[in-house]
Amino acid sequence: MLFLYGFGCPFPVEARMNRGFCALVAVAIAAALVLCGCAARQAMHPITTFVVPDYSARAIKTVGLMPIAERAGVQEAGPKLLPVLEAQLATKTAYVFLSQEQVLGSVQKSGVTDRYNKLLSGWRDNGSISAEDAVAVAQKAGTDALMLVEVSTWSREYVPANVEGESVSKVGLKAVLVSGKTGEKLWESYDEQSLQSAHYSPESGIGTYIDQAGMVRSSGKGGVPEPPPIEEVALRVVNDVFRVLP
């Protein structure tokens, strides 16, 4: 008969075990906890997610995509992100998406361009969403909902030539789905990720980085490794953000 309580290993006298075995058990348990903790941290993407409890009852089938907003300090992210975003929405979701051009075209024909501009202006300026304007735009575009996307981070930073470290590309993205009937937020997801080059030191002059598939690619700029392609980071973020879209 054997009793094992915690890491102290208080066994009956007739079944007393070696203290070394107790220590081994403790180490194994601690290692398992550490590994579980690491796995949990690695799996925390997207960072935040919200969805209304009765989402399935909303019967969302068609979604109109609004122009991408860029937060302060972000430049030229929209044109590079849009193809990645459209490909993800078209192939990895169950919805029928109307492109930015299709939504705008319908709005212009219906004479509610002012509502469209107000909705887009509020979203771009401070992240606000006018429910009234969202309903007007969605109804004229013939969609059940509108998708608004903002880029909060879009950067490629080189490690200084005289400093040991890595060059980094980083992307932060938030997506919000708004009801075309009520203008309320139905779903929201946010994520931010980065991708590093291989480690650089002034002595070695390494000029390589590890891509998404784990392959080593070579590229250098005066011996300093270039940041990984920002489109690869964007793809990771978009995949994780829309992976949790109901």
Distance CA 36, CA 51 (A): 27
Distance CA 180, CA 213 (A): 39
**CA distance linking residue 2 with residue 10, whole number of Å:** 9
Q: According to the 3-state scheme, what is the secondary structure of 66-122?
A: CCCEECCCCCCHHHHHHHHHHHHHHHHCCCEEECHHHHHHHHHHHCCHHHHHHHHHH
Q: How confident is the model at residue 22 (pLDDT cuts 50, 70, 90)?
A: very low
Q: Which residues contact 132 (CB under 8 A, 6 or more apart)?
A: 115, 183
Whole-number Cα distances in Å, 205 to 165, 167, 199, 222: 11, 13, 10, 8
pLDDT band at 206 (very low <50, low <70, confident <90, very high): low
Give the pLDDT score at 24: 40
Q: Report the alpha-carbon distance of residue 32 to residue 38 in Å, rounded.
A: 10
Q: What is the mean pLDDT of residues 201-230?
A: 68
What is the overall mean pLDDT for the chain? 82
User: Looking at 29-33, 43-47, 169-173, which range is the least confident one?
Assistant: 29-33
What integer pLDDT is reported at residue 76 of this predicted model? 82
Selected residue with higher pLDDT from 234 and 29: 234
User: Span 207-231, mean pLDDT?
Assistant: 68
pLDDT digits 0-9 by tens, 62-76: 999 999 999 877 888
Q: What is the pLDDT of residue 224?
A: 84
pLDDT tens column, 33-91: 334 444 444 558 999 999 999 999 999 999 999 999 998 778 889 889 999 999 988 88
Of all residues in the chain, what percent carry a pLDDT higher than 90?
60
- Between CA 66 and CA 88 the distance in angstroms is 15
